[in-house]
Chain A
Amino acid sequence: GESVGLHLPTLSVQEGDNSIINCAYSNSASDYFIWYKQESGKGPQFIIDIRSNMDKRQGQRVTVLLNKTVKHLSLQIAATQPGDSAVYFCAENRGTGFQKLVFGTGTRLLVSP
C-alpha cells in the first residue's frame, strides 16, 4: 500500500543538541524525497530534498540521509535552535508523468532553551 510513516510523533531536544527525525517509506519506485517544516497555521516550508540516486545531501545545518535498502529517510539538524521547533514532514514524490507528493503524518520537534 501507499504509506510514508514516521517513527516518533514528538521529539524533544535541548538547544544546541543535534536532532534526528526519521521516516519510513513503502514505495520502492519513488525517486524523489522532500523534507518540509511546518509552523502552526502556516504552509509547509521546503527544507531539503534528495533524489534516489543519492544517499546523502547536506544543506545549511541540515543533512538528509537516504537508505534505499531499508526504505528509510532521515533528517539531521545540527545545533538545534528554538526556532527549529515545528512539525517536520517527509514527503515522497511519485507519479509517472504527473508529480504527486505523498506525505507522512509528521514529527513535532520541541526545542528547549
Chain B
Amino acid sequence: DGGITQSPKYLFRKEGQNVTLSCEQNLNHDAMYWYRQDPGQGLRLIYYSQIVNDFQKGDIAEGYSVSREKKESFPLTVTSAQKNPTAFYLCASFGGYGYTFGSGTRLTVV
C-alpha cells in the first residue's frame, strides 16, 4: 500500500541534543512537508520541499533543518537551537489526489 511512514513514533531528547525524525513516502509525490502540532493547536508549517534538492522555510523554521536528497525521503532535524521542541510532528506529501499525512512522531525533551 502507498503511504507515508514516520519513525520513530516516540522520541526523547536531552537538552542540547540534535535529533532527526524520519519521513519516507512511496507515493511518488514531489512535494513534502513538515508540520508541528502543540496540544490544542492546529498544525504549523516548519519546512516544505517541492522537489528533490530543494526546500523552503515555512512559518516556524527556526531551530529546525531538513534535507531532500531523495524523492522518497524528507528527514527533519530538531537542533539544540529549538528552545521548545516538545510537540507532535507530522510529515505530509502532496500529489495526485491531494495531501497524505504520516502517523506522526511525538518528541519529548527530558
Mark A residues whose CB is within 8 Å of B: 4, 34, 41-46, 49, 89, 98-101, 103-106
Taking a contact as CB atoms under 8 Å apart, the answer to whether A49 and B90 are in contact is no
A-B contact list, 16 entries, CB within 8 Å = A4-B42, A41-B88, A41-B104, A43-B92, A44-B101, A49-B98, A98-B50, A98-B56, A99-B31, A100-B58, A101-B33, A101-B92, A105-B41, A105-B42, A106-B41, A106-B42
Give Cα A42 to B88, complex, Å.
Answer: 9
Give Cα A100 to B103, complex, Å.
Answer: 19
Smallest beta-carbon distance B35→chain A, Å: 8
Residues of A within 8 A of B104 (CB): 41-43
A103-B43 contact given A43-B90, A46-B98, A46-B99, CB 8 Å threshold: yes
Q: Tell me if B's interface is mostly helix, strand, loop or mixed.
A: strand
Give Cα A103 to B42, complex, Å.
Answer: 6
Mark B residues whose CB is within 8 Å of A: 31, 33, 35, 40-45, 48, 50, 56, 58, 88, 90, 92, 94, 98-99, 101-104, 106
Residues of B within 8 A of A98 (CB): 31, 48, 50, 56
Smallest beta-carbon distance B88→chain A, Å: 8
